[in-house]
Amino acid sequence: MKTIHIYKLLTVVLIFGLDLLSQFKSTEACSCMPEHSQAAYCKSDYVIVARVLRRSNRKHQNNYVYKIDIRKAYKMNPAAERYLKQGRIMTPIDDSACGIKLEIGQLYVFAGSDYHVNLCSFVRKYADLTIVEKRGIAGSYRKGCTCKIKPCFSTICHQSIGTCNWTPWRKCESDYGACIPSRGYYTPEGTPYKCHWRRSPPYNECLENP
């Protein structure tokens, strides 16, 4: 009887351990480096505001297919124009593959280089954007695309040429920051030597009332 009890106990521990391991792997699979909204804008082939109309009952290669209505196209290269022509966005079905759930009827901002989106993609509800972010995706971020936004996870970060340091948990740079070139500091190739966070009224107000 004692042997059977120990066997059952080991079985429970093993199942519990495997469950924890599967959760860990799922989390690891969806680990994403934080990305500033300006960086997402600058690197993407398209930046659109679209309403999610419905999710198709038919799945495509382990992906959900969402039908969208593009309301604004703030940035769109010819390739993106072709693959977004049918108004479809796909995302993995499984959470372990970083799939996301889109709310039907909601207006979203999508920025990317493919019609596939996941947890690491720039997908945000339009209503959740700040006024600076809304103006940014509408085109003002373009002024700073020659600058790079470098994530900084310590109290002291070296400022590289042509970059703005960004600490993701700092609200002012994250929600109200736009990284732009400083005047008069350019290389012969036109790359800025120095960039800084634009001191807009919302940004200044955030600094005064963090």
Residue 188 has pLDDT above 60, yes or no: yes
Residue 29: which pLDDT band, with cuts at 50, 70 and 90? low
Q: Following CA atoms 52, 57, 60, 66 in sequence, which dihedral angle do they give, to the nearest 10 degrees?
A: 0
Last residue of a domain, one of 87, 115, 143: 143
Structural domain boundaries, residue 193: 146-209
71 within some domain: yes
Whether 25 maps to a domain, the answer reads no
The answer to whether residue 46 is domain-embedded is yes
Quick one: CA torsion of 8, 14, 18, 19, rounded to 10 degrees? 50
Quick: pLDDT tens for 120-132.
999 999 999 999 9
Are 190 and 93 members of one domain? no
Q: 5 pLDDT exceeds 60?
A: no
> 74 near 49, Cβ under 8 Å?
yes
Tell me the binding residues for Zn(2+): 30
pLDDT one-digit tens code per residue, 37-85: 999 999 999 999 999 999 998 888 889 999 999 999 999 999 999 999 9
Evaluate if residue 95 carries a pLDDT over 70: yes
**Percent of the chain topping pLDDT 90:** 68
**3-class secondary-structure state, position 97:** helix
What CATH number corresponds to the domain at position 135?
A: 2.40.50.120
d(CA 89, CA 109): 12
Q: Which residues line the annotated binding site?
A: 30
Compute the distance between CA of residue 122 and CA of residue 108 in angstroms, rounded to an integer: 10
